[in-house]
Structure 1
Amino acid sequence: MTPITEVEGRRLSLSNLHKVLHPATGTTKGELLHYYATVSATILPHLRDRPVSFLRYPDGPDGQLFFTKNPPPGTPAWVKTTPVPRSEDPRARQVMIQDLPSLMWAANLVVEFHTPQWRAEAPAVADRLVLDLDPGPPATVVECSRVALWLRERLAADGLESFAKTSGSKGLHLLVPLEPTPSEQVSAYAKQLAVQAEADHPSLVLHRMNRALRTGKVFVDFSQNAAAKTTATPYTLRARERPAVSAPVTWDEVSACRAPTELVLLMDDIAPRLERYGDLLAPLLDPDRAGALP
């Protein structure tokens, strides 16, 4: 029997709570739901007012994974959606996770949360810039950290403050709060940064996704600034063998990174870190802190 739970007045059926989703740690779906309930006050502001795409992994990372932008079948009427027209479907809509019941409903589907760099009220007008640092083996997060520190200085030279988070996989994401700027302009600027990073560090950085050249280098992926692209939302769990989270790290931690096993944050690490640091990405949510884009 599926237990029915009431969350802030909404009735939810939460299923398969004992199912193991992360085999390396034995993490169950019930523990995943508990994680999202525990961090809800922190993740919700990063989700709110943005159309959400889901990477679903209902049978864990070794099962079938599927990416969906459309509201899943059976989406409750009380879950908000927003129009996100696409060339192939001008009437398309996407879910918005605005409150705790919506978060727990989505978490019960077993999803990664992915969001664009813009809010629903201003499509294709970015309020943040993102750079995804993706290491090509044998490069690791150690090399990503070196590149992140260079990019941090480069952005600071343009008056922009940057924040780092783990990707939840092998790399790092750099996030920069912006005054609202058309996505095309942000993409062009992000590409300039990636090209310049490669010019300054040709043996370490790539700005183009060229698999033949990836070995031992860090690909600075600027493409997620395009209006149609999304990035793993801060604090989302990822579909990995262990319950890794895409979560913020301090610049001191990035500077001190010397081993590939560092800068890995798992589900159980997040609550103690929030107690210690608060939300290190809170400045992304404060429009008064944002700099103007050069």
Structure 2
Amino acid sequence: MSSFAKTLSVALAVSLSPAVDAELESITDGELSGVTGQSGLTIDYSSRMSLQQFRYEDSGEFVAEDIRSGGAGMTDAGRTAGYNVDFDDARLTFDIASDGGLDVLWQSQSGQPMDWGFVAGNVAVGTGDPAARTPIFNNLQAWGLLRTAQHSILPSSESGLGRSASYNYAAFTVENLSASKTDSTVGIDGGYIKSPDFTGNPLADMDLTDQIPAWAGSQRARSTTPMDDIAAGFAATEFTVYPVNAGEQGAPYDTLSIGVSGFAADIGAQNLSVGQTDLGSMMLDNLQVSDTVITFTP
């Protein structure tokens, strides 16, 4: 069961408890008729979050420490740009679609892009012994803008895969990505992820794959298309996550696959370094990925 399904189950259980039953009984038939057919839930959202450590373990471990997320003001560059520390002006909408799918949509209350920020003090990998971890990043910071993000749970009849699946779409930017230059880590200065037209090429002159307009099909809960979002300056990505049984797609065990319908962006950095060695700038212009399947092997 997904974390959302668990949360929804708890909420339903609480709503049906004796403590609130009297309030439910006081609603008249006339009052109920006013909400008939309203299958959605809208939440206006503002928050910040901190986490001491995130650790993923399998044959080895991935560890991120001193994590903070919220608005762009969480980062040094975002604060300099005038943003605050809260992820706010956000609206989260849950809706049961006519095809039986659950659509979860992030969009702004004001119509302007939502600013976000993320900080991790240290990122490392290891074998499980804290003393033997290999550091990768120190003081990793990123901030950017989110235009829209959608997460949908599709029934097998609608996924096109013969099984239930999770559909995901996001239009976003990373305005500044950085990591401190130290003797033993990867350093990043002035990193970005933006629309494929960020370097100045108008969309009409670009070799955009003809699959981009068809990424999102009927758009489901969204009002914009991938081309709308790219033209507005955002990178765009669409992917589906679905279960794979042992023996399918060459998987030896039950696992998950990620089907990438598309990704379109310009990606770059003013300078990359490894240890104290500068590697210079990096730019991937008009990067596009489509029809790609990634299958995890436990």
Same structural fold, with TM-score higher than 0.5 when normalized by the shorter chain: no
Place the TM-score, normalised by the shorter chain, in its bin. Answer: under 0.3
TM-score by length of 2: 0.25
Whichever structure has more helix as a proportion of its residues is: 1
TM-score by length of 1: 0.25
Whichever structure has more strand as a proportion of its residues is: 2
Bigger Cα Rg: 2
